[in-house]
């Protein structure tokens, strides 16, 4: 079995963990929109830096930290799912659709927890 080394998302660079999360132009666009949604004034960073940021700055039980971690986890899950859908089914979604789906997922899962509802009311929008 031959494996295509090129990233199925952007089709321009070789695939690796650090490329997929988030040096890839496609996954970086999705994470950048989610960062904008969360009011984080920064761009997507390399995998190791994103992990360090999540562990050091978003590790608490506050609503902002909880939603941040949910958004990051959900983004990773959706990008992996998108990659597999392109590879195995040849289907590709628009970046804006992926962003909306992730936001809906985080939003509705978050609404199940009472302590998150006030913060989520401020996140009841899609980033432009
Ligand atoms: Zn890529």
Nearest to 127 by CA among 24, 32, 62, 44: 32
CA atoms within 13 A on the CB side of 6: 6
State in Å: Cα 13 to ligand 1 middle.
Answer: 6
State in Å: Cα 6 to ligand 1 middle.
Answer: 8
State in Å: Cα 90 to ligand 1 middle.
Answer: 16
Which residues are CB-contacts of 38 (< 8 A; sequence separation ≥ 6)? Answer: 64, 67, 68, 71, 123
Which residues are CB-contacts of 37 (< 8 A; sequence separation ≥ 6)? Answer: 71, 99, 103, 123, 125, 126, 127
| Average pLDDT, consecutive stretches of 10 residues, N- to C-terminus, the chain (128 residues) | 88 95 97 97 95 94 96 97 96 97 97 96 95
Q: How far apart are CA 82 and CA 79, in angstroms?
A: 5
State in Å: Cα 50 to ligand 1 middle.
Answer: 17
State in Å: Cα 47 to ligand 1 middle.
Answer: 13
| Confidence at residue 20, expressed as pLDDT on a 0 to 100 scale | 95
State in Å: Cα 62 to ligand 1 middle.
Answer: 33
Each domain of the chain, given as residue ranges in start order, spans 17-37+44-122
Angle of helix 47-57 versus helix 63-89 axis, rounded to 10: 150
| Confidence at residue 1, expressed as pLDDT on a 0 to 100 scale | 67
- Specify whether the CB–CB gap between 9 and 82 falls below 8 A: yes
């Amino acid at each position: 079995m031959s494996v295509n080394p090129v990233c199925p998302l952007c089709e321009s660079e070789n695939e690796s963990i650090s490329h997929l999360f988030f040096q890839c132009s496609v996954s970086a666009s999705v994470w950048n929109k989610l960062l904008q949604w969360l009011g984080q004034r920064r761009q997507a960073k390399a995998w190791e830096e994103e992990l360090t940021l999540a562990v050091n700055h978003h590790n608490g039980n506050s609503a902002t930290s909880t939603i941040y971690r949910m958004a990051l986890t959900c983004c990773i899950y959706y990008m992996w799912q998108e990659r597999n859908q392109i590879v195995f089914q040849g289907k590709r979604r628009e970046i804006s659709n992926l962003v909306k789906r992730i936001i809906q997922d985080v939003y509705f899962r978050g609404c199940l927890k009472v302590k998150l509802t006030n913060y989520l009311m401020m996140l009841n929008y899609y980033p432009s």
